[in-house]
Structure 1
Amino acid sequence: MSKPIYVIGHRNPDTDSICSAIAYAHLKKALGEHVIPARAGKINAETKYVLDFFGVQSPQLILDMYPRAKDVMHEKLVAIHPWNTLRKLGQLIKQHSVKSIPVVESDGNLVGIVTVGDLAERYVNELGMQDLRETGVDYGGILRCLNGTLICGGDLSRRIIGSVKIAASRTETMAKVIKPGDIVLVGNRTDVQLTCIEVGVACLIVTGDFDVATEVETAAQAAGTYIIRAPYDTYTCGRLINQSIPVGKIMKPAVTAFKPDDMVADIKSIIIRTGYRNYPVVQNGKLVGLIDRDRLIVPERDQIILIDHNERSQAVDGIEEVKILEIVDHHRLGGLETSEPIFIRHEPVGSTATIVANMHWHRNVPIPADIAGILLAAILSDTVLFKSPTATEKDRDTATKLAQIAQLDIQEFGMSMLKAGSVIDKLTPSDIIATDLKEFQIGEYYVAISQISVMDPEAVLKQQTELKIALQAICEKEQYNMAILLVTGILDEATYLLHYGQPSGLIAAAFGEGRPDGTWYLPGVMSRKKQVVPPLIDAVRQL
């Protein structure tokens, strides 16, 4: 299946951002597209209440869109065990046309990597490989490399302790050359075979697929000598024995490996510096993928649809690394650039959910009761039960239709939802500021504006000192010029403004003189985007 398209809202998501993403993903799926709803932050209390009320699952959490090792790795792996032979290694390299192969234990743990270069180096030095004592070769490895038949012998895991000799001389000469414990390659010369057994060789390899005489087999059994019959000639058997060495003897145990969540931007420099062709990807010690250096050059970009925002400062981190396909929003245009024309649905309404609901109806896609419910909740949340000046007749008409589908009373459900979201007992001052924070570039200043809607603003304002300290902290951490908190009273339809930062006099220029305690009381102000941001923009121009 192709990579999914993510529908995602802004950072510090509110109910409209979350619910509109879920509903728009529902629409796109109904139209046959592989779409997944996502979120760019944790869910607040109000949104949790809504999703729980309708039994809708929370969208997938995505904190950034930077490509990672798991996005560019091969998951279909060719691997080899350290006890497998070089012959097996060569067969895998040829069969799969690969340049390197990870080496893993039985449990999948990565222990090394072996390359074509390692194999070639062994063959260049093969004249020094006839002494197998230091290589860890066992009789089973030789038997497999030769495709041989075991005529007599015992434990195949027994290690080789002697040298490999070829019985090409007369019997008298061979008796002087061969030593006890050696491995001897011999043809169908019965006299030489018996002489070798008398000397005490460890193993006879009868080449050419010749039959073994009964007297030779009897003598070998009595002496504890292994006999292997091989289908190849003596020269070929000599070369194949050199391939019986375990892979573990030539592999590189120090492996440059990555984790699945390592960012591609971080691993590129390592790949350039080390210059290997392939890099294992390991999770909890186990091999899960392989990165091909050539494939890393142009990783396939993720595709996303932006919901309820269109400014880079509010988008998920790494937005520049993905392909934006669509934008569905109800805010001002924020200057995002795309590499090609895209679909944009932008309307001056109170909620993105209003747009999404009408797109369902326009495309004749039925809205189920649970989706209708979360869309209704999003409209009521963003318009604060239609008390916000951003609310339009289209919002009200859409909400009425959705309420009928969900079989809900708008006023009753809306109040219960807003009450659930206004509970601040368990929130720290930092939590309050982070609950619904959006970033704006106003002139040359970067401003963070948070908003919390509550039944009793005074319960929040009691923490005024701590809140201002938290505003200062977020300014210093994120390098904002100014941080603003809007405490909006749902019942009295007014907002209290707290701030920290520069330029000095900006808030007074936008909203007049504040109260003695350093806050501003803004009666009738309910909307951040329509009643707070525009006056700030005008004030910056004046300053």
Structure 2
Amino acid sequence: MEKTVLVIGHRNPDTDSVCSAIAYAYLKQQLGLNAVPARAGKINPETQFVLEHFGVPVPKLVDDLYPRLSDIRLAQPPTVGPDASLRDVGRLFVEHEGLKSVPVLDQENNIVGIITVGDLAKRYYNELSIQDLDDGETDYRSIVHTLDGQLICGDLTHTFNGKIKIGASEPETLSTAIKNGDLVIIGDRVEAQLAVLEAGAAGLILTRDTEITPIVLQTALRYKAVVISTPYDTYTTARLINQSIQVRLVMTKNLVTLKTTDLLSDVREKMLAAKFVSYPVLERGKYVGMMDRGMMLVPDRQEVILVDHNERSQAVEGIEEAHLLEIIDHHRLGGLTTGAPIFIRQEPVGSTATIVANLTWHRGIELPPALAGILFAAIVSDTLYFRSPTATLFDQDTAKRLAEQAGIKDAEAFAMEVLRHGSAIGTMPVQDIVRNDIKEFDFGEHRITVSQINIMDRQQALERLGELQKALNEFRKQEGYDLSLLMVTDILGEATDLLAAGSPQTQLVHAFGEAAVEGCYHLPGVLSRKKQIIPPLTEAFRKQD
């Protein structure tokens, strides 16, 4: 089956990140690529509104790209049930070259044990048990099957757990040598057969398809003994009968199992610690395949296209383990590196959605109305309906064309509705607010986060200023960041209150001037993180270094 290519935005996704991933995946699908849109975190209320409004499904959540056991092609050896005989298993080892172990499954596909070549070898070479089945119950059906024989009299469902003996002696000797419950392998010697039955044997195994005489049959019926006929000679019968034991009596039951969701790094450690030959792999508790020690734990790397970001700190966890194919973005260049050239489309526009829409049109592909609608909403969200200094005429022209294709009659009214859903500061928990649309940046040795929430009424933010600052500092400590910033952006008032927690804050003063109150900088005219927060911060840290 063709592997999928994930089209995914940054962690803590915003509307532009999610909608651009959906639309760009659609474009790649039209060009013949098996692309699937994905998200790297919980969607916010604004994005939820946009997707529901246009009836577009939420992309699947991808927590990380670290390789898992599900990325490895598992071995699919033949399996047996617990009632299979050792001979059945032995045949599998002969027929499948290189087979090391056979999983034992019940009728509901649950793994109940494993039997290995070593298990069979131990059983075969332990001479004390070659003609001895008293270490486990075996039904006569299994014995008949193993010997390719037929039942002359007796009950196949009854079990046998006694001694196996060869009736080669004289009748008088057999009368004393045979004990009650023994099963005797014997040829066409009628007197010896009768002596064995009279001695209380559980039954006879007649070799070389020996025909039973009427008197022997009557005696067997009288003593309720079992009589089995086999085409094999005495030597072969004696060697084969040990293989009639059912697998459940010999298999290894104390198993170390793996799950398809296990990280390969954890699988390696578990296999090194356990030192078994084979390991059953489970998915939702059911057996799906085997992992052998000799198998190479080298998966096919997940192919990924990044949209709306290009920095390692903002990408989904495990991005370094993936095969990066493309980057579609409108931000500054970050620190991602690749082992080979890739396609990059990076433009100084207000939204990645602008780039995605024009790439689609450039290919001569029309966007479905729903996708045109979500791309329009993404441009509105990222440019604050063209109030942000990042907005360009190209964004406006693209948004106008998208609105027409989506059938949006009153673009401004719908844009305000989108922004209102993104400004729910009065109802959102403070823990969600300080994580909203968050991005991580590295400034030298300092790890810094900048989150942003848009509001329509600054007074709502001022009323929650204290609890927001407390929550921001708790988040910073919990996640181990040096400095965490929260942009509370008043769309209509075209200003931002920048909350800060942690250190160093000297650079904030250099970049934005003195705080209005402790830990809060009021920044008139500031709406864009990308163009009005990150550049002056970068310069302030550069001067310090």
> What is the 5 A alignment of 1:451-490?
451-490=452-491
Match of 1:387 in 2: 387
Matched, 1:214 2:214: yes
> What is the 5 A alignment of 1:344-493?
344-408=344-408, 409-493=410-494
Structure 2: any 5+ residue segments left out of the alignment?
A: none
> What is the 5 A alignment of 1:251-262?
251-262=251-262
> What is the 5 A alignment of 1:291-306?
291-306=291-306
1: CA distance between counterparts of 2:190 and 2:55? 84
Question: What is the identity, as a one-letter code, of the residue corresponding to 2:140?
Answer: Y
> What is the 5 A alignment of 1:127-206?
127-154=128-155, 156-206=156-206
Would the alpha carbon gap of residues 524 and 298 (structure 1) be closer, same or farther in structure 2, given more than 3 Å must change?
Answer: same
Indicate conservation of the 8 Å contact 2:350/2:390, yes or no. yes
Displacement of 1:75 after TM fit? 7.1
Indicate conservation of the 8 Å contact 2:6/2:37, yes or no. yes
2: CA distance between counterparts of 1:96 and 1:328? 49
Output one character per residue of 1:344-369: Cα deviation in whole Å (capped at 9) or x when no partner.
Answer: 11111111111111111111222111
Output one character per residue of 1:448-468: Cα deviation in whole Å (capped at 9) or x when no partner.
Answer: 000001111321232222211
Indicate conservation of the 8 Å contact 1:302/1:323, yes or no. yes
Match of 1:33 in 2: 33
1: CA distance between counterparts of 2:277 and 2:300? 19
Q: Secondary structure at the match of 1:111?
A: strand
Output one character per residue of 1:144-187: Cα deviation in whole Å (capped at 9) or x when no partner.
Answer: 21122111112x33221321111222323222322221111122
Match of 2:229 in 1: 229
1: CA distance between counterparts of 2:516 and 2:454? 20
Higher mean displacement: 242-251 or 412-421: 242-251
Matched, 1:326 2:362: no
Question: What is the identity, as a one-letter code, of the residue corresponding to 1:525?
Answer: V
Displacement of 1:77 after TM fit? 5.4
Matched, 1:46 2:46: yes
Displacement of 1:283 after TM fit? 4.5
2: CA distance between counterparts of 1:199 and 1:357? 93
Match of 1:110 in 2: 111
2: CA distance between counterparts of 1:235 and 1:430? 79
Displacement of 1:491 after TM fit? 1.0
Indicate conservation of the 8 Å contact 1:146/1:240, yes or no. yes
Displacement of 1:516 after TM fit? 3.0
Match of 1:506 in 2: 507
Q: Secondary structure at the match of 1:65?
A: coil
Displacement of 1:80 after TM fit? 2.7
1: CA distance between counterparts of 2:295 and 2:323? 19
2: CA distance between counterparts of 1:235 and 1:499? 88
Q: Secondary structure at the match of 2:38?
A: strand
CA RMSD of aligned residues (A): 1.8
Output one character per residue of 1:270-316: Cα deviation in whole Å (capped at 9) or x when no partner.
Answer: 21233323211235543233223333431222111111111110011
1: CA distance between counterparts of 2:235 and 2:113? 32
Displacement of 1:139 after TM fit? 1.2
Question: What is the identity, as a one-letter code, of the residue corresponding to 1:361?
Answer: W
Question: What is the identity, as a one-letter code, of the residue corresponding to 2:448?
Answer: V
Question: What is the identity, as a one-letter code, of the residue corresponding to 2:239?
Answer: R
Would the alpha carbon gap of residues 308 and 94 (structure 1) be closer, same or farther in structure 2, given more than 3 Å must change?
Answer: farther
Match of 2:524 in 1: 523
State, as a whole percentage, how many aligned pairs show the same letter: 50
Indicate conservation of the 8 Å contact 1:72/1:291, yes or no. no
Would the alpha carbon gap of residues 47 and 85 (structure 1) be closer, same or farther in structure 2, given more than 3 Å must change?
Answer: same
Output one character per residue of 1:61-110: Cα deviation in whole Å (capped at 9) or x when no partner.
Answer: 01111112222252745333333221122223333442112333333333
Higher mean displacement: 432-441 or 209-218: 209-218
Match of 1:62 in 2: 62
Q: Secondary structure at the match of 1:295?
A: coil
Indicate conservation of the 8 Å contact 1:443/1:537, yes or no. no
Match of 1:343 in 2: 343
Match of 1:89 in 2: 89
Indicate conservation of the 8 Å contact 2:82/2:246, yes or no. yes
Question: What is the identity, as a one-letter code, of the residue corresponding to 2:272?
Answer: I
Indicate conservation of the 8 Å contact 1:209/1:232, yes or no. yes
Match of 1:5 in 2: 5
Question: What is the identity, as a one-letter code, of the residue corresponding to 1:382?
Answer: D
Matched, 1:536 2:537: yes
